[in-house]
């Protein structure tokens, strides 16, 4: 908690100070009210006192109340402002921390949890700061001031007040033991609920197609029920609080008056009795305040641990160092542009057991096309994802432009690459915003329009883009759900082409295209972007047979490397793939 507060900026500290001062002011004003009450009771019961004196005391009392109200208003305003500013800054800190994460860290936290951490957990802290913080400051001040005011009055009253406080504390302890752990569990259960909801929404098509609504519903209502049950139990325990508080407070008032009545009955002197009476009124007022301050401890003890859990969860994100860090270099070696070299690279996913890639070595010269083929799960995507450093190789070295990828800044390295992932990703926006997405690369910002058209044309997307309402400014909905899978892939390719990179990485990008488009697209790419080195993952022999080098992967190992004709003679795995796809004539 303290650690997270240390992340506050100067403005926030200033607001916090303001808020503390306001609380002091408010308590001061509140605590003066009973004094005036006492004076008024005395005046009323004293013979010969003037109405104007009562008016005077009454008006002062009213003034105190009004000032206290104003301060309370300001204090609420300041603490909400503090909470809102703090949580805004925290959210953006979490966001930029997550942006800096490599896939390893994201896998470790899980997407659902990262989302709850940057939303729900931040809100939790915001609530705590806007409400709990002033309470934490107010309770001890109120208790101290009130105690000092009633100190040394009749011992019977003090004993009774102690009794009431003990009763309230018992309730607080009970609630702390029984309800608070449940409140704390709530955060983790919310993670679960979030996960269930996400899965349902992202997989909605499959859910519908397999009539699995009921199954999904069960999964969701499971998570929902657990959360509800937890909440109910927590609330049930909490419900003890209110009646206990009422009972203690009312009992205390009655008790004080009863005792007061006895004492007064035994006092022979009228003016002494009057003093006792006015003391009684004041005492019962302060005693109530003490009781309420103790009860607010309950709220604090409830909010604090939850805020604590949230703070820890957020701190965990903010303290995580990205495992992939920048090197110092902005450029590759002179004369080695466009080359890629793998030197005995092995790779294991963080936290996984076996090596997914083993001892991979190959080179791609400038302008060459190196193709990867192999069964699903043989490690093709994993291999090409090492080039833009989504993960770092476990062993061995990867050189781009003659330099180890770890020596580059990530921006510089990724600026060299035009990447089209296995699953095309489009962002909310327009065709143009998706094609020109991101920064870096060699795209010419002068004649964007022309470059976009060209990239879209090379990617064979022109025809459908121009048919879309609005053409290049046509809306792309979230996740690109308003274009087909193949169209999505083509826009994803256009994005890579527009960047004018030194290196293309096409991870199975052509599989979603029909044969003809596939062929035309590759021919256009070759003609228009000669000199760009290409790493090409594919399923079809047809897509890769013209490649300068074909690498056959099997269970993470290279089992064949060469041109199509050579592999047809030497590589058994390659032959198998080829025979299942090509007819005899095609092979000949
Ligand atoms: N993020 C990940 N964490 C752990 N294992 C993974 C991850 N991604 C892929 N794998 C494993 O790595 C292997 C190779 O996957 P991948 O490179 O995607 O294969 P391909 O692209 O050849 O189909 C698979 O066995 C898969 O289970
Ligand atoms: Mg793959």
Is residue 517 lining ligand 1, measured as CB closer than 6 Å? no
| The pLDDT value given to residue 360 | 96
Residue 425 belongs to a domain = no
Q: Supply the mean pLDDT for the chain.
A: 89
**421 CA → ligand 1 middle, Å:** 14
Q: What is the 3-state secondary structure (H, E, C) of 139-180?
A: HHHHHHHHHHHHCCCCHHHHHHHHHHHHHHHHHHHHHHHHCH
Which phi and psi angles does 420 have, rounded to 5°? Answer: -120, 110
- Cβ atoms of 325 and 407 closer than 8 Å: no
Q: At residue 496, does pLDDT exceed 60?
A: yes
Q: At residue 196, does pLDDT exceed 60?
A: yes
Identify the DSSP state of 221: H
* pLDDT, tens only, 48-86: 888 888 899 999 999 999 999 999 999 999 999 999 999
| The pLDDT value given to residue 579 | 87
Q: At residue 297, does pLDDT exceed 90?
A: no
The closest alpha carbon to 372, from 517, 541, 193, belongs to 541
Which numbered ligand comes closest to the C-alpha of 556? 1
Q: What is the mean pLDDT of residues 210-237?
A: 91
Instruction: Say whether 80 sits in a helix, a strand or coil.
Output: helix
**Confidence band, pLDDT 50/70/90 cuts, at residue 585:** low
**376 CA → ligand 2 middle, Å:** 7
> In sequence order, what E strands does 401-437 have?
403-404, 417-420, 429-430
Which numbered ligand comes closest to the C-alpha of 507? 2
Write down which residue in 319, 351, 371 finishes a domain: 319
**Which of 110, 381, 558 should be mutated for ligand 1, with most atoms under 8 A from CB?**
381
Query: How far, in whole angstroms, is CA 251 from its chain's centroid?
Result: 47
Which numbered ligand comes closest to the C-alpha of 421? 2
Identify the DSSP state of 329: B
Write down which residue in 253, 284, 319 finishes a domain: 319
* pLDDT, tens only, 88-114: 999 999 999 999 898 889 988 888 889
**Confidence band, pLDDT 50/70/90 cuts, at residue 557:** very high
* pLDDT, tens only, 360-386: 999 999 999 999 999 999 999 999 999
Identify the DSSP state of 478: G
The CATH number of the domain holding residue 555 is 3.40.50.300
Count how many domains the chain has.
2
| The pLDDT value given to residue 317 | 94
Q: Tell me, yes or no, whether 142 and 281 share the same domain.
A: yes
Q: Tell me, yes or no, whether 14 and 103 share the same domain.
A: yes
**Which of 371, 379, 394, 422 should be mutated for ligand 1, with most atoms under 8 A from CB?**
379
| The pLDDT value given to residue 180 | 78
Residue 554 CA: distances (Å) to CA of 187, 384, 560: 44, 15, 9
Residue 47 belongs to a domain = yes
Residue 534 belongs to a domain = no
Query: How far, in whole angstroms, is CA 396 from its chain's centroid?
Result: 35
- Cβ atoms of 31 and 145 closer than 8 Å: yes
Q: What is the 3-state secondary structure (H, E, C) of 312-327?
A: HHHHHHHHCCCCCCCC
| The pLDDT value given to residue 247 | 92
| The pLDDT value given to residue 587 | 59
Q: Tell me, yes or no, whether 112 and 13 share the same domain.
A: yes
Q: What is the mean pLDDT of residues 334-358?
A: 92
* pLDDT, tens only, 526-538: 888 888 999 999 9
Residue 190 CA: distances (Å) to CA of 182, 184, 302, 379: 12, 11, 18, 35
End-to-end CA distance of the chain: 72
- Cβ atoms of 304 and 128 closer than 8 Å: yes
Q: Tell me, yes or no, whether 105 and 235 share the same domain.
A: yes
| The pLDDT value given to residue 537 | 95
- Cβ atoms of 329 and 408 closer than 8 Å: yes
Q: At residue 210, does pLDDT exceed 70?
A: yes
Write down which residue in 292, 319, 346 finishes a domain: 319
Q: Tell me, yes or no, whether 293 and 376 share the same domain.
A: no
* Alpha-carbon gap, residue 506 to 529, rounded angstroms: 14
Q: Tell me, yes or no, whether 272 and 374 share the same domain.
A: no
Which numbered ligand comes closest to the C-alpha of 391? 1
Closest residue to atom 6 of ligand 1, CA basis:
349
**Confidence band, pLDDT 50/70/90 cuts, at residue 277:** confident
| The pLDDT value given to residue 387 | 96
* Alpha-carbon gap, residue 200 to 112, rounded angstroms: 13
| The pLDDT value given to residue 339 | 94
| The pLDDT value given to residue 588 | 55
Is residue 360 lining ligand 1, measured as CB closer than 6 Å? no
The CATH number of the domain holding residue 296 is 1.20.1560.10
Is residue 349 lining ligand 1, measured as CB closer than 6 Å? yes
| The pLDDT value given to residue 584 | 59
| The pLDDT value given to residue 377 | 92
| The pLDDT value given to residue 302 | 76
Q: Tell me, yes or no, whether 334 and 314 share the same domain.
A: no
Q: Tell me, yes or no, whether 227 and 348 share the same domain.
A: no
Strand partners of residue 400 = 340, 403
- 413, 415, 417, 419 alpha-carbon torsion, rounded to 10°: 120
**Which of 104, 105, 377, 559 should be mutated for ligand 1, with most atoms under 8 A from CB?**
377
Closest residue to atom 21 of ligand 1, CA basis:
381
Residue 370 belongs to a domain = yes
**377 CA → ligand 1 middle, Å:** 6
> In sequence order, what E strands does 22-92 have?
none
| The pLDDT value given to residue 194 | 84
Is residue 382 lining ligand 1, measured as CB closer than 6 Å? yes
- Cβ atoms of 83 and 129 closer than 8 Å: yes
Q: Which atom of ligand 1 is nearest to the CA of 372?
A: 22
* Alpha-carbon gap, residue 364 to 372, rounded angstroms: 12
> Considering the entire predicted model, what is its pTM?
0.77
Q: What is the mean pLDDT of residues 126-148?
A: 89
Identify the DSSP state of 408: B
Rg (CA), the chain: 36
Q: Tell me, yes or no, whether 239 and 350 share the same domain.
A: no
Closest residue to atom 4 of ligand 1, CA basis:
349
Q: What is the mean pLDDT of residues 540-547?
A: 88
Sign of the dihedral defined by the CA atoms of residues 24, 27, 30, 31, in that order:
negative
Instruction: Say whether 536 sits in a helix, a strand or coil.
Output: strand
Q: Tell me, yes or no, whether 375 and 313 share the same domain.
A: no
| The pLDDT value given to residue 150 | 84
The closest alpha carbon to 190, from 123, 246, 242, 235, belongs to 123
Number of Cβ within a 10 Å radius of residue 223: 18
- Domain hosting residue 339, numbered range: 329-415+549-588
* Alpha-carbon gap, residue 514 to 388, rounded angstroms: 28
Percentage of the chain exceeding pLDDT 90 = 51
* pLDDT, tens only, 386-405: 999 999 999 999 999 999 99
* pLDDT, tens only, 426-463: 999 999 999 999 877 666 667 788 889 999 999 999 99
């Amino acid at each position: 908690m303290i650690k997270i507060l240390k992340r506050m900026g100067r403005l926030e500290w200033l607001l916090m100070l303001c808020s503390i001062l306001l609380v002091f002011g408010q308590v001061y004003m509140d605590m003066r009210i009973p004094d005036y009450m006492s004076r008024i009771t005395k005046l009323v019961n004293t013979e010969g006192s003037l109405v104007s004196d009562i008016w005077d005391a009454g008006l002062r009392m009213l003034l105190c109340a009004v000032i206290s109200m104003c301060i309370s208003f300001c204090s609420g305003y300041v603490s909400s402002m503090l909470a809102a500013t703090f949580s805004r800054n925290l959210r953006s800190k979490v966001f930029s921390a997550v942006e800096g994460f490599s896939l390893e860290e994201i896998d470790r936290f899980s997407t659902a949890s990262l989302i709850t951490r940057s939303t729900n957990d931040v809100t939790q802290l915001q609530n705590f700061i806007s409400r709990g913080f002033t309470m934490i400051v107010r309770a001890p001040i109120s208790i101290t001031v009130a105690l000092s005011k009633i100190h040394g009055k009749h011992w019977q009253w003090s004993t009774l007040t102690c009794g009431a406080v003990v009763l309230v504390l018992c309730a607080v302890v009970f609630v702390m033991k029984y309800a608070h752990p449940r409140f704390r569990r709530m955060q983790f259960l919310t993670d679960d609920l979030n996960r269930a909801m996400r899965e349902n929404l992202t997989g909605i098509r499959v859910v519908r197609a397999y009539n699995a609504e009921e199954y999904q519903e069960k999964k969701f209502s499971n998570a929902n029920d657990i959360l509800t049950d937890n909440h109910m139990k927590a609330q049930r325990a909490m419900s003890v609080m209110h009646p206990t508080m009422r009972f203690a407070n009312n009992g205390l008032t009655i008790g004080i008056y009863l005792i007061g009545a006895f004492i007064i009955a035994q006092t022979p002197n009228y003016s002494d009795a009057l003093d006792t009476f006015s003391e009684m009124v004041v005492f019962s007022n302060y005693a109530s305040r003490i009781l309420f301050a103790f009860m607010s401890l309950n709220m604090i003890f409830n909010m604090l641990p939850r805020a604590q859990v949230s703070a820890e969860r957020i701190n965990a994100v903010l303290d995580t160092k990205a495992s992939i860090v920048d090197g110092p270099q902005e450029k590759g070696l002179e004369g080695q542009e466009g080359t890629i070299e793998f030197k005995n690279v092995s790779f294991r996913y963080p936290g996984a057991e076996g090596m997914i890639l083993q001892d991979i070595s190959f080179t791609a010269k400038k302008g060459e096309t190196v193709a990867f083929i192999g069964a699903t799960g043989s490690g093709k995507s994993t291999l090409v994802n090492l080039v833009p450093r989504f993960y770092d190789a476990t062993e061995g070295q990867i050189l781009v432009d003659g330099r180890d990828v770890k020596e580059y800044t990530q921006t510089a390295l990724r600026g060299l690459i035009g990447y089209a992932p296995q699953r095309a990703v489009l962002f909310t926006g327009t065709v143009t915003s998706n094609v020109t997405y991101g920064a870096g690369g060699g795209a010419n910002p002068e004649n964007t329009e022309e470059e976009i058209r060209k990239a879209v044309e090379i990617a064979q997307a022109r025809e459908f883009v121009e048919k879309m309402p609005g053409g290049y400014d046509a809306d792309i909905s979230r996740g690109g759900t308003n274009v087909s899978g193949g169209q999505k892939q083509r826009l994803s390719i256009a994005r890579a082409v527009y960047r004018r990179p030194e290196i293309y990485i096409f991870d199975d990008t052509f599989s979603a295209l029909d044969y003809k488009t596939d062929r035309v697209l590759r021919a256009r790419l070759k003609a228009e972007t000669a000199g760009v080195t290409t790493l090409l993952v594919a399923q079809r022999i047809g897509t890769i047979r013209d490649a300068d080098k074909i690498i056959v992967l099997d269970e993470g190992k290279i089992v064949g490397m060469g041109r199509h004709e050579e592999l047809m003679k030497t590589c058994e795995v390659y032959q198998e793939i080829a025979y299942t796809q090509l007819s005899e004539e095609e092979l000949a």
